[in-house]
Structure 1
Amino acid sequence: MRIRTRAALGLAVTVTAVVALAACSTGGSSAGSASTSSASASGKPVDGGSLTFAIANDPISLNPSGTGSGNDTLYVTRQLVDSLLYQDPKTGALKPWLAKSYTANADATAFTFHLRSDVTFSDGTPLDADAVKATFDDIVAAGAKSTAISSFSGYSGTKVVDSSTVEVDFSKSNAAFPQATSSVGLGIVSVATTKLPYDSRATGKGVVGSGPFTLTSYSPNVKTVLAKRKDYAWGPTGAANTGAAHLSSVTFQVVPEASVRSGSLESGQLDAIGSVQPTDVDTLKSAGYDLVDRTNPGLAFGFSFNESRPIVGDEKVREAIAHAIDSKTVRDTSLNSLFPVGTSALASTTPGYKNEKSHFAFDLAESKKILDADGWKAGSDGIREKDGQKLSLTVAWITNFSPNQTTLELVQQELKKAGIAITLQSSTVPDFIKTLSSGTYDLQFGNSSRADGDILRTSFSTSATNYSRIDDPTLEALLQKQQTIANATERNVVIGQIQDRLASQYHEIPVHELTTILATSKDVHGITLGADSRLEQLTGAWKTGE
């Protein structure tokens, strides 16, 4: 992080001195909400017992930086590895973990991490600077095989200053890197692990981390069993339990069907379940089960455009679409109140979030007025036309979140009232990416999770994926500028300006935010969600009656 200082002095600050800066945001909203947790019983946590936690998908890869199945993979691998820094879910601030402090240079191209001296990997070898360097170099060498590669744009290398100090260097500013080091994908593994062929680590064999659990067995599409590491004693600052886990073991059971997960929880076959569907919330709550929920940071669920297409390249058409969507009614119908209505490109739990709801007020009359003035006249079928072309658009979306279809069908009905026709084009994630890359769509509906405003750059910059094909020099300059500012407070001001620009030009139209929901049995306590709204390490979890 950078402070206002004289550049000639080359001053830097440590994370331990100014961690609160990361919590600052513009627009009068907090950077994030506290991680909710399963209810706590009176009395002291109980040591021992096993926890069976149902996930919807097989992890696919137990290599922390590898390509797995999303959140379900991260739930498992988070238990095996620690990170250099920890992001506080209450404030968004970065706190010590494996690194007891860090410094950043003035232009955010060099970051120096000072490591703890009391940490060991599960094979007994000490965590040191060589392991950090090997981990980061390994991710870069893996390239597209690693989900963490996007955090290393411009990576020049990691220098071992001494056994407990590393310097990570970039050829261009990368102010988002410290936050990235708090993620599972950048979790530190042993040097021995990095010497194994990258693809062979998917089964978890040979993956050695410093986390509170170790791998006992992995049965693809069935279960992953973990055992407590008894000598663990270096949990992150801010964790409820920084020592060894209370639980003796954890089993992540693969249960694809949401109804089966809920039913198995109610029948006592499971202790906790992930991916609770909105339709199951009321049933579980009324039956007395505890819910653990937190809104996901990053991009809210919403619409972005392929602005290389002439119709949606027109700002007035995009503005008309924004005013024709009643986001609150859509949210209330397809989801529930646990999912906030979208008010900005960023979700409200993202550090730097700014409320932009004034740009997206539902006003059907205004939508029609805008289209009239823009030359779009209603045709015989009610769909507007201009220069012989129908106002008919294709929306690309993914089927991996079940309420998406209901949401889009409601939006389809609302837009039709304004004279806009949309065709829904659903697909799996791989096919969706192909569609975005080819540009054979007008709008896309989706979201993306990360607890840092740099997700706006990776989503909308011409130097990143730029699926939206936006030609907006003002926006581009802001996206690049935020990456050069190491001071969190100053950087969040620019992230607010980016949201202003995205909203005022209607490059992105938010609909609702995504919320992670877990459910636990009555005898399970202390399960928490982190700043990324994913399962934290289970060191603080415990069960009564065992």
Structure 2
Amino acid sequence: MRQHFCILLSALVLVVGSVAGCGAALDTSAVTTGGASLNPQPRENLRDGGSLTTAITEVSPQWNTFHADGSAYTLALWRWYNPNLAYFSPDGEYSPNPDYLTDVRTEIVDGDTVVTYSINPQAFFNDGTPIDYRAFVETWRTSRGIDDRYIVSSTDGYSQIASVTRGLDDRQAVVRFDGVYAWPDGLFNLVLHPKAASPDTYNKGYVTNPHAEWGAGPYTIASYDPNAGTVVFERNPKWWGKPGKLDRRVFRQLESQAALNAFQNGEIDVAGVATKDARARVLTMNGIDIRTAASPQQALLALNLDAPILADRIVREAVMTAIDRETLARIRFTGLDYTEELPGSLSLYPFQPGYRDNLAGVVSYDPDRASRLLDQTGWRSGDDGIRTKDGARLSLTLPNIGDDTTTANLSRALQAILGKVGIDLVVTQRPSSDFSTVVVNKEFDLFMMGFASSDPFGMAYFCQIWCSDSQFNPAGAGTPELDGQIEAMAQIGDPTAQIAAGNRVEQEAFRQYSNLPLFNGPAMVAVKEGLANYGAGQFYIGPIEDIGWEK
């Protein structure tokens, strides 16, 4: 599910979210990523009213964030009109949202992790249905992976639950795991309305239909235009908590350049500026802040194992060995005065405890070796420098999503890098709105994309990237043997021990040569001055009703 795991992102200029920390003044010095940055303010410092308008890369037709076709953008919209049962600090510390949960108690009972959720008796879905243990039951039942009629994005954690039952009354849910589970705080942070729990409704009912009546929270949907890609939220009259400070929250589907133009013209209030050109454009503006933090997001190159040429593991190894990641990182961070060591994990980030470079010893840049590997597989250099085999050219396609200049530069650089070893990389241009189509239909040989983590429990979601039957595995990698190792790792109840085991398994997973980490990068957003409780803040998830404008 999208509330807690690595989330698909379009291209490499990653999603802007509402996150927390200290405000950052506009300057032209080197980018730093210590802590979080959002101009935190108490409610009494905010005026009632106003609107917040931001760009979004894609308004996905699939509004069900639990569904495999959802994306980071699905989740960003979902959070504005559905129950958010948990908050996270910037460094990933969990706390229940008291508007929904009055108490969460975790204990070990007879060798099993048992979590008891006491639900606020004021909590109701917008259609009048109580938010009670039934929502927990249906969230578990649809996400546990037993019924393959549900096209679920993630079964991680839910597949290890033995039972979800009624507690002392309907407003208490008791979740019992089969053994000790390491990451219980990553589950049930969002819940599904019981009316959405039939397979047909789960899979198809949310397609171009947000079902605001099945939501709950400070805001609800005022309008949704699937053609224009515009979503407007307004205060929810059925909300029992503190009212939202904003009158309206607006999302507009815009390409990167259009979003920057709209920000400069005052049409939107926030713009992502974690690229050279974008940052340079906003540095000339008055009345804005640039807010920066370390980013729990990963850019990677996925290789489609279903593509005939890439079905050969040695060819995939050659492709990865030929790629100069340092050059790609320099292009990505040009103009930001920012550097980082090359990432070596798709599970944890360098700023997290337990992180290890699991790519080391598996892939390193060596174009001469890449050429030898291609020779070994029968791909011989042709007169034009492109390799051929049995009359076919060694030609691969890479869709370039959106109109961001940095992403286009990266695509061209990758094209040149692979060309040096005789690989013809054909870059095709696709609009941002095609992102889900490209991923779901696997319309690529190579694809630069991103993952975003919405909580710090990366090892809990290892299966999403690497399991052979995962709906969230764009490369199509995985083997029964690796699946077994992942399952055994997931059973380890001690978090530190599970991370150590996960690092060993991830190194083995990288030997499939299916996913190549490229870089992480900073989160950088430009915002109009006075916007509070919004910006860049690592794992932060907080009360959306407290986002607003200073008095």
Quick one: which of 120, 124, 128 aligns to 2:123?
A: 120
What is the aligned partner in structure 1 of residue 19 from structure 2? none
What is the aligned partner in structure 2 of residue 306 from structure 1? 305
User: In structure 2, do the counterparts of structure 1 residues 477 and 397 end up closer, same or farther at CA, with 3 Å as the change threshold?
Assistant: farther
What is the aligned partner in structure 2 of residue 328 from structure 1? 326
Residues in 1 aligned to 2:53 and 2:40: alpha-carbon distance in whole angstroms: 18
Does structure 1 residue 343 correspond to structure 2 residue 346? no
**Residue 509 of structure 1: how far off its partner (Å):** 2.0
Does structure 1 residue 38 correspond to structure 2 residue 38? yes
Does structure 1 residue 54 correspond to structure 2 residue 47? no
User: In structure 2, do the counterparts of structure 1 residues 362 and 126 end up closer, same or farther at CA, with 3 Å as the change threshold?
Assistant: same
Residues in 2 aligned to 1:193 and 1:375: alpha-carbon distance in whole angstroms: 52
**Residue 512 of structure 1: how far off its partner (Å):** 2.7
Question: What is the aligned length?
Answer: 489
Q: Contact 2:165–2:173 at 8 Å: present in 1 too? A: yes
Residues in 2 aligned to 1:232 and 1:358: alpha-carbon distance in whole angstroms: 52
**Residue 363 of structure 1: how far off its partner (Å):** 3.7
**Residue 417 of structure 1: how far off its partner (Å):** 1.2
What is the aligned partner in structure 2 of residue 226 from structure 1? 234
Does structure 1 residue 251 correspond to structure 2 residue 252? no
**Residue 481 of structure 1: how far off its partner (Å):** 1.9
Q: Secondary structure at the match of 2:48?
A: coil
Residues in 1 aligned to 2:68 and 2:372: alpha-carbon distance in whole angstroms: 47
Residues in 2 aligned to 1:515 and 1:258: alpha-carbon distance in whole angstroms: 17
Q: Which amino acid aligns with 2:234?
A: L
Does structure 1 residue 527 correspond to structure 2 residue 534? yes
Residues in 1 aligned to 2:142 and 2:185: alpha-carbon distance in whole angstroms: 18
Q: Which amino acid aligns with 1:279?
A: D
Q: Secondary structure at the match of 1:331?
A: helix
User: In structure 2, do the counterparts of structure 1 residues 355 and 74 end up closer, same or farther at CA, with 3 Å as the change threshold?
Assistant: same
What is the aligned partner in structure 2 of residue 460 from structure 1? 466
Q: Which amino acid aligns with 1:538?
A: I
TM-score (norm 2): 0.71
Q: Contact 1:61–1:204 at 8 Å: present in 2 too? A: no
**Residue 354 of structure 1: how far off its partner (Å):** 2.2
Residues in 2 aligned to 1:119 and 1:342: alpha-carbon distance in whole angstroms: 48
Q: Which amino acid aligns with 1:102?
A: T
User: In structure 2, do the counterparts of structure 1 residues 46 and 488 end up closer, same or farther at CA, with 3 Å as the change threshold?
Assistant: same
Does structure 1 residue 420 correspond to structure 2 residue 423? yes
Residues in 2 aligned to 1:348 and 1:291: alpha-carbon distance in whole angstroms: 26
What is the aligned partner in structure 2 of residue 15 from structure 1? none
Residues in 2 aligned to 1:117 and 1:262: alpha-carbon distance in whole angstroms: 42
1:260-339 to structure 2, matched below 5 A, reads 260-273=258-271, 279-288=277-286, 289-293=288-292, 297=296, 300-306=299-305, 309=308, 313-315=312-314, 317-334=315-332, 336=334, 337=336
Q: Contact 2:274–2:522 at 8 Å: present in 1 too? A: no
1:465-484 to structure 2, matched below 5 A, reads 465=471, 468=475, 470=477, 475-484=482-491
Q: Contact 1:52–1:252 at 8 Å: present in 2 too? A: yes
Q: Contact 2:344–2:359 at 8 Å: present in 1 too? A: yes
**Residue 325 of structure 1: how far off its partner (Å):** 1.7
Deviates more, 1:453-462 or 1:519-528: 453-462
Q: Which amino acid aligns with 2:425?
A: I
What is the aligned partner in structure 2 of residue 129 from structure 1? 133
**Residue 324 of structure 1: how far off its partner (Å):** 2.3
Q: Contact 1:193–1:208 at 8 Å: present in 2 too? A: no
What is the aligned partner in structure 2 of residue 354 from structure 1? 356
TM-superposition CA deviations, 1:421-467 (whole Å, max 9, x none): 3334666345434653xxx8654443333342344422222243566
What is the aligned partner in structure 2 of residue 399 from structure 1? 401
What is the aligned partner in structure 2 of residue 22 from structure 1? none
**Residue 399 of structure 1: how far off its partner (Å):** 2.1
**Residue 51 of structure 1: how far off its partner (Å):** 2.8
1:75-224 to structure 2, matched below 5 A, reads 75-90=76-91, 92-97=92-97, 98=101, 100-103=104-107, 111-117=114-120, 120-121=123-124, 127-137=131-141, 144=150, 152-153=158-159, 158-163=164-169, 164-168=171-175, 178-182=185-189, 186-187=190-191, 189=193, 199=205, 202-209=209-216, 211=217, 213-215=218-220, 217-220=222-225, 221-224=229-232
Q: Secondary structure at the match of 2:283?
A: helix
User: In structure 2, do the counterparts of structure 1 residues 207 and 80 end up closer, same or farther at CA, with 3 Å as the change threshold?
Assistant: same
User: Runs of 5+ in structure 1 lacking a partner?
Assistant: 1-32, 234-243
**Residue 215 of structure 1: how far off its partner (Å):** 1.6
Residues in 2 aligned to 1:37 and 1:397: alpha-carbon distance in whole angstroms: 33
Q: Which amino acid aligns with 2:222?
A: S
Deviates more, 1:496-505 or 1:294-303: 294-303
User: In structure 2, do the counterparts of structure 1 residues 122 and 462 end up closer, same or farther at CA, with 3 Å as the change threshold?
Assistant: closer
User: In structure 2, do the counterparts of structure 1 residues 459 and 400 end up closer, same or farther at CA, with 3 Å as the change threshold?
Assistant: farther
Residues in 2 aligned to 1:396 and 1:486: alpha-carbon distance in whole angstroms: 40
Residues in 2 aligned to 1:505 and 1:464: alpha-carbon distance in whole angstroms: 16
**Residue 343 of structure 1: how far off its partner (Å):** 1.9
Residues in 2 aligned to 1:264 and 1:215: alpha-carbon distance in whole angstroms: 25
Q: Contact 1:59–1:76 at 8 Å: present in 2 too? A: no
Q: Contact 1:323–1:364 at 8 Å: present in 2 too? A: yes
User: In structure 2, do the counterparts of structure 1 residues 271 and 93 end up closer, same or farther at CA, with 3 Å as the change threshold?
Assistant: same
Q: Which amino acid aligns with 1:271?
A: D
**Residue 266 of structure 1: how far off its partner (Å):** 3.4
Q: Secondary structure at the match of 1:270?
A: coil
Q: Which amino acid aligns with 1:79?
A: W
**Residue 521 of structure 1: how far off its partner (Å):** 0.1
TM-superposition CA deviations, 1:150-180 (whole Å, max 9, x none): 7755776531132354234678998666424
TM-score (norm 1): 0.71
Q: Which amino acid aligns with 1:419?
A: G
What is the aligned partner in structure 2 of residue 432 from structure 1? 438
Q: Contact 2:359–2:507 at 8 Å: present in 1 too? A: no
User: In structure 2, do the counterparts of structure 1 residues 415 and 274 end up closer, same or farther at CA, with 3 Å as the change threshold?
Assistant: closer
Deviates more, 1:160-169 or 1:198-207: 198-207
Q: Contact 2:395–2:426 at 8 Å: present in 1 too? A: yes
TM-superposition CA deviations, 1:463-484 (whole Å, max 9, x none): 4356645465664333222221
Q: Secondary structure at the match of 1:382?
A: coil
Q: Which amino acid aligns with 1:132?
A: F
Residues in 2 aligned to 1:413 and 1:377: alpha-carbon distance in whole angstroms: 18
Q: Secondary structure at the match of 1:162?
A: coil
**Residue 96 of structure 1: how far off its partner (Å):** 3.5
TM-superposition CA deviations, 1:26-77 (whole Å, max 9, x none): xxxxxxx877333358997224232322233446566665688733443333
The structure, 1 or 2, with the larger RCO (C-alpha pairs under 8 Å, 6+ apart) is 2
Residues in 2 aligned to 1:42 and 1:132: alpha-carbon distance in whole angstroms: 32
TM-superposition CA deviations, 1:124-146 (whole Å, max 9, x none): 88643244335545778995466
Residues in 2 aligned to 1:255 and 1:67: alpha-carbon distance in whole angstroms: 21
Q: Which amino acid aligns with 1:158?
A: V
Q: Contact 1:39–1:290 at 8 Å: present in 2 too? A: no
Quick one: which of 409, 412, 416 aligns to 2:412?
A: 409
